Amino acid sequence: MNPPPPRDADFPFGATHASAEFILRSSDGTNHVDFFVHKLILSMTSPFYKTMFTLPPPSTPPPPGPQSVDIERIVDGVQYVVLPVSEDAETTLHFLHHCYPYNNPPPTDPPILRKLLRVLHKFDMMDRLSHHVNTLIAFLARERPATAFAIAHLFKEKLGPAARDAAYLSLRRTSAQITQEQAALAHDDTELQHAFNRLIRYRQSCTSCARSTADNVNRISCYDVPGSMEKDWCSCPAYSTGYKPGRGIERYPMWVRDFMEGCKEVLEETPHPDMMLDARLYILPVKTAAGSGCARCRVTVDGLPLFGARLAKKVALALEGVTFGIAYERMRYQLACEMELSEE
Ligand SMILES: [Zn+2]
């Protein structure tokens, strides 16, 4: 039985394009779709196609074979050269949407996004479309940060910073949510599974870093810790740090300690500093202080949100130091150093 004849792509890549010069023929098994495209547009976006179009035609015709049967197609008296590609129709369509100036929604399906990045990488288009490609990763990262990380990590030479941003965003998710994302991806895909394992190790390092930072009150100035200045001391239960006066924070109210314990608990599951700004963490300590009947605590508890924000900033700074230990982070570090130098 003969394979079905190629089908024409839908608008705008169908045969209605009078100005098109050649055909990209996608392949899903024996189903082929013909996309009518322009040399100029592909040359502008892909160095691969640019080189191909500027090469002189071969002096001898290619030997006959299954591929060469259909290397030309005539539509309404116009002859088109056919270039077979190994990608399927959906990937080819997304690829062309990135070459042509149409306003199209980004692919949100991870396998499609991965195929698209693979073809953009294959045709050497990652650098030219870097802003666009980074936006695609960031778009996916809003809903599925771990998946976005895993896909970007596969192209880490080009998408390192986007991978790192997605990994950081994943700290807002619980381990159970990360496991869910992992389960939704193909299990037989060892490359993606490897990337997920890398992310899980990163998250573990972040958890222990965030937890120990949020627990260390002496990294914080006593002006920031509510009720820790000697003039604010009262007869309410207080947490003693064992520090001598003048050398650090000696004591601070139990409701500050309660708040810090709450933070540690939240960071254990979701080690992102923003999680420490969640209003629910403040309800109990504020109730304790306000309901204590202590005039001083009622005043000093007003400083708790500012303390929480500063503690979150400390955690964010500490997390900057947690790395994957791979090349793109060295790039990021060099960039940060250069920026610091230029500010001086
Ligand atoms: Zn008090």
What amino acid is encoded at 7 in this protein? R
Q: How far is CA 175 from the centre of its chain?
A: 17
Task: Determine what percent of the chain is predicted with pLDDT higher than 90.
Answer: 42
> How many domains does the chain contain in total?
3
Neighbours of ion ligand 1 (CB under 5 A): 234, 236, 294, 296-297
Cα–Cα dist 130/12, whole Å:
24
219 CA to middle of ligand 1, Å? 23
pLDDT interval class at 124 (50, 70, 90):
confident
Angle between the 156-169 and 327-343 helix axes, to the nearest 10 degrees?
80
Among 128-142, 295-309, 317-331, the least confident range: 317-331
Are 222 and 243 in contact, with CB atoms under 8 Å apart?
no
Q: Is the pLDDT score of 66 beyond 60?
A: no
Cα–Cα dist 113/187, whole Å:
17
8 CA to middle of ligand 1, Å? 78
What is the arithmetic mean of pLDDT over 24-43?
Answer: 89
In a domain, 270, yes or no: yes
24 CA to middle of ligand 1, Å? 76
Q: Do 75 and 19 fall into the same domain? A: yes
Q: Do 202 and 118 fall into the same domain? A: yes
In a domain, 338, yes or no: no
Are 125 and 98 in contact, with CB atoms under 8 Å apart?
yes
How many Cβ atoms sit within 10 Å of the Cβ of residue 201?
11
In a domain, 226, yes or no: yes
Are 236 and 244 in contact, with CB atoms under 8 Å apart?
no
Supply the pLDDT for residue 69.
47
In a domain, 155, yes or no: yes
In a domain, 333, yes or no: no
pTM above 0.85, yes or no: no
- Opening angle at CA 320, ends 140 and 327, nearest 5: 75
Beta strands in 45-132 (DSSP E): 72-75, 78-84
Supply the pLDDT for residue 15.
79
Cα–Cα dist 243/239, whole Å:
11
Q: Do 171 and 247 fall into the same domain? A: no
Higher local confidence (pLDDT), 261 or 131: 261
Strand partners, 26: 33
285 CA to middle of ligand 1, Å? 12
In a domain, 32, yes or no: yes
Supply the pLDDT for residue 68.
46
296 CA to middle of ligand 1, Å? 5
Residues 97-118 pLDDT 10s:
888 877 677 787 888 888 899 9
Cα–Cα dist 252/21, whole Å:
76
Q: Is the pLDDT score of 332 beyond 70?
A: no
- Opening angle at CA 150, ends 155 and 114, nearest 5: 60
Q: Do 125 and 138 fall into the same domain? A: yes
Cα–Cα dist 316/284, whole Å:
24
Domain's final residue, options 91, 125, 159: 91
Cα–Cα dist 223/300, whole Å:
11
Cα–Cα dist 337/344, whole Å:
11
Residue 327 corresponds to which tokens in the numbers above? 């090349």
Q: Do 245 and 304 fall into the same domain? A: yes
Q: Do 166 and 74 fall into the same domain? A: no
Q: Do 224 and 185 fall into the same domain? A: no
Higher local confidence (pLDDT), 305 or 68: 305
Q: Do 287 and 229 fall into the same domain? A: yes
289 CA to middle of ligand 1, Å? 7
290 CA to middle of ligand 1, Å? 9
Supply the pLDDT for residue 240.
85
Domain's final residue, options 67, 91, 115: 91
Q: Do 234 and 160 fall into the same domain? A: no
294 CA to middle of ligand 1, Å? 5
Tokens 């088109």 locate to 80
83 CA to middle of ligand 1, Å? 79
Cα–Cα dist 131/22, whole Å:
28
Q: How far is CA 290 from CA 187, 236, 293, 298, in A?
A: 52, 12, 7, 5
Q: How far is CA 154 from the centre of its chain?
A: 12
Residue 174 corresponds to which tokens in the numbers above? 């619980």
What amino acid is encoded at 325 in this protein? G
Are 223 and 232 in contact, with CB atoms under 8 Å apart?
no
In a domain, 335, yes or no: no
Supply the pLDDT for residue 217.
78
Please state whether beta strands 238-240 and 251-253 pair in parallel, antiparallel, or not at all (unpaired).
antiparallel
Supply the pLDDT for residue 117.
92
237 CA to middle of ligand 1, Å? 7
231 CA to middle of ligand 1, Å? 12
Q: Do 109 and 205 fall into the same domain? A: yes
Query: What average pLDDT does the structure give for the chain?
Result: 85
Range of the domain at 147: 105-211
Tokens 């250069």 locate to 338
Residues 277-316 pLDDT 10s:
999 999 999 999 988 889 999 999 999 999 999 999 999 9
Residues in CB range of 103: below 8 A, 6 or more apart:
none
DSSP reduced 3-state for 10? coil
In a domain, 312, yes or no: yes
230 CA to middle of ligand 1, Å? 12
Domain's final residue, options 66, 91, 116: 91
255 CA to middle of ligand 1, Å? 9
Q: Do 119 and 44 fall into the same domain? A: no
303 CA to middle of ligand 1, Å? 14
254 CA to middle of ligand 1, Å? 9
Residue 47 corresponds to which tokens in the numbers above? 């160095």
Q: Do 109 and 203 fall into the same domain? A: yes
268 CA to middle of ligand 1, Å? 29
Supply the pLDDT for residue 220.
79
